């Protein structure tokens, strides 16, 4: 496991159990992949984790988790281009992962009401420590609102309440608008979330992802991603650099 993932996981765990963490970035920088690295870390530690995906189906998520667990390239897993040794390794990893405290829920019509009901059921049966949601812009709120901005602010308020009520950490992925690309320095800042809604007042931690390679016209064999912890009520803002996320 990459030491940077371990470092970030420790920061997210923190002292406060009921957290609302927002991980935001432009599309295709690596939000989902980072969340799955964190998911793998948490379940390997025995933390009961639920992953609600409004983006990728269950089988695709499992491909990535198996890749993380075995270090076999995800494309090889998806296409089934595996040696006998790799297939054996993958079969064993699949069996091991099935015994870990992970619950995956996929679909593109999740409402907050549905997520809360399922989270409450998990909390009362198998237990629940961490809840991932991928991603904010695809969620439907419970309240009637005059604008999408108002609805997202309402969603964040409800998620904050769910985290407190169920004593869980919610890690919410979010896309950033294109306006961040109009800045000279395209690294996201907390103010860049204002176009989405009132995120900052409800989030205990706000994390941005940034990569120079995302904006470069020159292909590169390796690239690094900056994990920018812009807000942390339990600590100071810091930056973690991770290679080849």
* Tens-place pLDDT, residues 2-28: 889 999 999 888 666 789 999 999 998
What pLDDT, on a 0 to 100 scale, did the predictor assign at position 110?
81
Distance CA 16, CA 168 (A): 10
Which candidate, 95, 84, 3, 98, places its Cα nearest to that of 43? 98
Average pLDDT value for residue range 124-131 = 95
**Cβ atoms 135, 55 nearer than 8 A:** yes
The pair phi, psi for residue 133, each rounded to 5°, is -130, 125
What pLDDT, on a 0 to 100 scale, did the predictor assign at position 2?
83
Structure token digits, residue 187: 């690294």
Backbone dihedral region for residue 182 (phi beyond 0: left; psi -120 to 50: alpha; all else: beta): alpha
**Band of the pLDDT at 45, cuts 50, 70, 90?**
very high
**Cβ atoms 117, 154 nearer than 8 A:** no
**Band of the pLDDT at 222, cuts 50, 70, 90?**
low
Whole-structure pTM value = 0.93
Distance CA 154, CA 150 (A): 6
- If you search the block for the tokens 């294109």, which residue do you land on? 178
* Tens-place pLDDT, residues 155-190: 999 999 999 999 999 999 999 988 888 888 889 989
**Cβ atoms 125, 116 nearer than 8 A:** no
Give residues with Cβ within 8 angstroms of 146, minimum separation 6: none
Structure token digits, residue 155: 């969603």
Domains of the chain: 3-243 (3.40.50.300)
Give residues with Cβ within 8 angstroms of 129, minimum separation 6: 42, 47, 48, 49, 168, 169
């Amino acid at each position: 496991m990459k030491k940077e993932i371990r470092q970030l996981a420790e920061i997210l765990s923190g002292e406060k159990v009921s957290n609302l963490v927002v991980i935001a970035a432009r599309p295709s920088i690596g939000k989902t992949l980072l969340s799955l690295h964190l998911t793998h870390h948490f379940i390997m530690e025995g933390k009961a984790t639920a992953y609600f995906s409004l983006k990728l189906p269950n089988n695709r998520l499992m491909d990535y988790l198996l890749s993380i667990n075995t270090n076999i390239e995800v494309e090889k897993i998806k296409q089934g281009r595996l040696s006998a040794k790799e297939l054996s390794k993958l079969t064993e990893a699949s069996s091991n992962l099935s015994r870990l405290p992970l619950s995956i829920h996929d679909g593109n019509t999740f409402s907050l009401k549905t997520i809360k009901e399922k989270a409450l059921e998990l909390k009362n049966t198998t237990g629940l420590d961490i809840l991932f949601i991928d991603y904010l812009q695809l969620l439907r709120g419970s309240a009637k609102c005059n604008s999408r901005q108002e609805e997202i602010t309402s969603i964040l308020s409800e998620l904050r309440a769910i985290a407190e009520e169920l004593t869980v950490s919610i890690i919410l992925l979010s896309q950033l608008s294109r306006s961040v690309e109009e800045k000279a320095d395209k690294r996201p800042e907390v103010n860049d979330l204002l176009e989405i809604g009132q995120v900052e007042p409800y989030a205990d931690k706000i994390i941005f992802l940034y990569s120079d390679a995302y904006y470069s016209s020159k292909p590169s064999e390796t690239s690094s991603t900056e994990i920018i912890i812009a807000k942390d009520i339990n600590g100071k803002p810091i930056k973690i650099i991770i290679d080849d996320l």
